[in-house]
């Protein structure tokens, strides 16, 4: 099935940077007011009705209050001196390292639990975390993999959502031994906490946005020892609550990762992703130059598993496991017509969506070990063979009002490539004007 590519005139990349989308410094963040929409003129189009809305335009139901307070985004341009991070206040971050007492006794034998009205709609893994606080993610995944967790007699997946009245079979559970004690973090736990601090782009009482480095997994799995979800254990509080993942990034993708610090925030933020009110922008370096330079990719994607790996393939509507996936792309800058810096806006959130879509239109992302299969294609000298994909920006409603608007700098290997190719990281990004659907 061919991808559907639709030309959209979103704006000239050469025009001045649209400062409506800049992340303000801390002092400006609370004081700024909405700027008026800039008038634009667009050529007449005959193939479809004119789309006039812009990404972030002021229309009913889309008023954007200023972002809430937090650390300013660090720039990543080599020509500027490196900014020093302000010192961290350990009283703000170091949790009380007390032994976790679960809300309910851990079952020592198989237990049958009935889903209540309040628990309806929860994922199975969140259901277990809520009932048995202190239960580790790895332990939950282990009983799921072994088929020990069942819903109405059927084998459960950790992502399954529960319905009121369902019966959940829960096997005997156990808490991991406490890793800290005596009121002091262990040396290893302190190093983990320091590593988390270094990733923080934004934080308040409810939410954190981390700048996840490339190569760090978000969740554990077979053979994965170090991952973000496991690192967050050192931030578990006296009530047994720890920060929760709200969405995922591939292991080799760098950039903005949203974390909920409370159950209330997790519910609100998860709802924003489900309702598609969260906006994400990615940057990538791809082989060749896509034509047209601004377009829409619409396909169905299905998971294809073999003995060695799992990839997403382009499927037909109606194929088993096929889900509709839509991505907008825009070429920001090119290098000798051999490489292109593209900005990507996923409308849907399928596994490997951006990687599979760019490979499908024959412009695979540089350094992608799963989807880059161009024959006789030589990587330019000086460019590292790592995935050149960055979760550049996230804009999402804050659980208590307003918006979180956060951007991540280029990771080291992409910054090296940008400098080598002479790409300007502060250019106007035309994807910001892409349609919403």
> Across the strands, what pairs with 294?
330
Stretch 116-138: mean pLDDT, rounded?
Answer: 80
* pLDDT for 137: 74
Give tens-digit pLDDT for 299-348. Answer: 999 999 876 778 999 999 999 999 999 999 999 999 988 999 999 999 99
* pLDDT for 246: 93
Closest CA to 5 of 273, 201, 294, 250: 294
Write down the mean pLDDT value for the chain.
79
CB 231 within 8 A of CB 195: yes
How confident is residue 57, by pLDDT bands cut at 50, 70 and 90?
A: very low
Give tens-digit pLDDT for 152-199. Answer: 999 998 788 999 999 999 988 865 544 444 456 788 889 999 999 999
Q: pLDDT higher for 225 or 353?
A: 353
Cα maximum dimension of the chain: 72
* pLDDT for 55: 41
CB 396 within 8 A of CB 403: yes
In the three-class reduction of DSSP (H, G, I as helix; E, B as strand; rest coil), residue 350 is classed as coil
Stretch 50-61: mean pLDDT, rounded?
Answer: 38
In CATH, the number for domain 19-32+40-80+269-433 is 3.30.2350.10
Class of domain 90-96+192-263: alpha beta
Query: Which two tokens mark 9?
Result: 């005139």
d(C-alpha 265, C-alpha 36), whole Å = 31
CB 256 within 8 A of CB 245: no
Give tens-digit pLDDT for 381-413. Answer: 889 999 999 999 999 999 999 999 999 999 999
How confident is residue 119, by pLDDT bands cut at 50, 70 and 90?
A: confident
CB 271 within 8 A of CB 126: no
d(C-alpha 196, C-alpha 216), whole Å = 12
* pLDDT for 134: 66
* pLDDT for 91: 47
41 has a pLDDT exceeding 50:
no
d(C-alpha 255, C-alpha 213), whole Å = 7
Q: Tell me the domain boundaries of the chain.
A: 19-32+40-80+269-433, 90-96+192-263, 111-170
Question: Among 24-38, 58-72, 132-146, which is the least confidently predicted range?
Answer: 24-38
Query: Which two tokens mark 173?
Result: 């559970």
d(C-alpha 432, C-alpha 55), whole Å = 5
Fold classified for 111-170 = 3.10.290
d(C-alpha 35, C-alpha 123), whole Å = 40
Q: pLDDT higher for 57 or 68?
A: 68
Q: Which residue has the tokens 């979760």?
A: 391
Query: Which two tokens mark 421?
Result: 């190719």
**DSSP state at residue 59:** -
Fold equal for 19-32+40-80+269-433 and 111-170: no
What are the residue numbers of the active site? 250
What pTM was computed for the model?
0.64
């Amino acid at each position: 099935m061919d991808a559907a590519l639709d030309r959209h005139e979103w704006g000239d990349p050469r025009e001045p940077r649209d400062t409506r989308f800049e992340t303000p410094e801390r002092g400006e963040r609370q004081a700024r007011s909405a700027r008026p929409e800039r008038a634009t003129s667009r050529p007449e189009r005959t193939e479809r009705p004119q789309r006039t809305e812009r990404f972030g335009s002021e229309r009913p139901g889309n008023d954007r209050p200023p972002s809430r307070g937090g650390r300013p985004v660090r720039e990543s341009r080599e020509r500027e001196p490196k900014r020093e991070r302000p010192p961290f206040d350990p009283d703000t971050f170091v949790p009380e390292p007390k032994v976790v007492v679960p809300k309910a006794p851990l079952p020592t034998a198989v237990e049958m639990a009935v889903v209540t009205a309040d628990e309806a709609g929860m994922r199975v893994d969140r259901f277990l975390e809520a009932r048995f606080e202190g239960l580790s993610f790895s332990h939950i995944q282990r009983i799921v993999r072994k088929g020990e967790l069942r819903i109405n007699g059927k084998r459960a997946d950790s992502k399954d959502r529960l319905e009121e009245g369902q019966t959940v079979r829960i096997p005997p559970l156990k808490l991991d031994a406490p890793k800290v004690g005596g009121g002091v973090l262990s040396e290893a736990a302190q190093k983990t906490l320091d590593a988390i601090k270094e990733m923080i782009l934004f934080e308040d009482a409810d939410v954190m946005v981390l700048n996840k480095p490339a190569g760090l997994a978000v969740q554990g799995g077979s053979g994965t020892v170090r991952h973000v979800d496991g690192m967050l254990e050192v931030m578990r509080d006296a009530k047994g609550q720890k920060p929760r993942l709200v969405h995922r990034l591939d292991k080799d993708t760098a950039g903005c990762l949203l974390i909920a610090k409370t159950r209330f925030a997790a519910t609100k933020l998860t709802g924003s992703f489900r309702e598609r009110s969260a906006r994400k922008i990615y940057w990538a370096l791809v082989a060749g130059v896509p034509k047209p330079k601004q377009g829409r990719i619409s396909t169905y994607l299905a998971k294809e598993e073999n003995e060695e790996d799992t990839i997403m393939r382009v499927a037909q509507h109606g194929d088993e496991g096929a889900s509709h996936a839509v991505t907008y792309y825009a070429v920001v800058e090119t290098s000798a017509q051999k490489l292109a810096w593209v900005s990507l806006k996923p409308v849907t959130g399928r596994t490997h969506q951006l990687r599979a879509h760019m490979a499908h239109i024959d412009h695979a992302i540089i350094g992608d070990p799963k989807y880059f299969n161009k024959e006789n294609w030589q990587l330019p000298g000086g460019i590292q063979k790592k995935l050149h994909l960055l979760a550049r920006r996230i804009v999402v409603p804050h659980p208590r009002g307003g918006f979180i608007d956060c951007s991540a700098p280029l990771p080291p290997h992409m910054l090296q490539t940008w400098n080598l190719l002479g790409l300007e990281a502060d250019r106007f990004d035309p994807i910001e004007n892409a349609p919403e659907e």
